[in-house]
A and B are shown apart, each in its own frame.
Chain A
């Protein structure tokens, strides 16, 4: 049986689970970050830079980015398969989506690495 890398033979339960686990991870991270921002109204560069210098924050941010990329893949894949009828256009969009997510991942690594 030929398996498509673009997810035509997806395991639905795995997608369902990844979507929920990544959602909970992103909820925890974003609530934490918003709480930090609200508690630091006049935030300056030194404080902000110090926050992202800590190993904990880097790890949490990386985990958030990974969750975001998996979450976006499943979400956008669902939207494409629901509304784009043309196979060719869908293929092009999905390849473009995959490439964007890879670029976002390396951009995020580069940003965190540079702090």
Chain B
């Protein structure tokens, strides 16, 4: 009887639900932010050393490639920020049921995307 149970081991037909995607992206963005720590500390040091260094740094960070890197950093930050708020809300049992969980997962995604786009506009 036990052998008759349906099995599905085809990974291509198994989809992560949105809350699971939100969760794994929270981890990935967290690791990315950790890797950015030395770069941000270096930039902070230069920006506070002298007016010359401040202007040099400003010029260096104005190149399109560096702007893209800053946008990447801000995107990871914004995403981690809002996904973190979702965690804090779930700690007080807001959005930890099936329906509300899916709603809050969607909200996290939408709000993050809006702020990531705004950050892009702010940089360029």
Task: Please determine whether B48 and A111 come into contact, CB atoms closer than 8 angstroms.
Answer: yes
Interface size of B by CB at 8 A reads: 23
Task: Please determine whether A115 and B41 come into contact, CB atoms closer than 8 angstroms.
Answer: no
A56-115 interface with B by 8 A CB criterion: 68, 72, 75-76, 79, 100, 104, 107-108, 111, 114-115
Bound complex: CA of A59 vs CA of B55, how far in Å? Answer: 26
> What string of 1s and 0s marks CB contacts (under 8 Å) between A41-63 and chain B?
00011101100100000000000
Task: Please determine whether A45 and B81 come into contact, CB atoms closer than 8 angstroms.
Answer: no
Given contacts A68-B37, A75-B34, A111-B41, contact A48 B84 (CB under 8 A): no
Task: Please determine whether B41 and A108 come into contact, CB atoms closer than 8 angstroms.
Answer: yes
Main secondary structure of the interface of B (DSSP, over half): helix
Bound complex: CA of A100 vs CA of B41, how far in Å? Answer: 12
Task: Please determine whether B91 and A20 come into contact, CB atoms closer than 8 angstroms.
Answer: yes
Given contacts A20-B91, A23-B84, contact A76 B41 (CB under 8 A): no
Task: Please determine whether A27 and B81 come into contact, CB atoms closer than 8 angstroms.
Answer: yes
Task: Please determine whether A114 and B48 come into contact, CB atoms closer than 8 angstroms.
Answer: yes
> What string of 1s and 0s marks CB contacts (under 8 Å) between B85-112 and chain A?
1001001000000000000000000000
B116 to chain A, nearest CB (A): 14
Q: Can you list 26 contacts pairing A with B, beta carbon distance less than 8 Å?
A: A20-B88, A20-B91, A24-B88, A27-B85, A30-B77, A38-B122, A44-B51, A44-B54, A45-B50, A45-B51, A45-B55, A48-B54, A49-B48, A68-B37, A72-B34, A72-B37, A75-B30, A76-B30, A104-B38, A104-B41, A107-B45, A111-B41, A111-B45, A114-B45, A114-B48, A114-B49
Give the 8 A-B CB pairs with smallest separation, nearest first: A45-B54, A45-B51, A111-B45, A75-B30, A72-B34, A115-B48, A107-B41, A23-B84
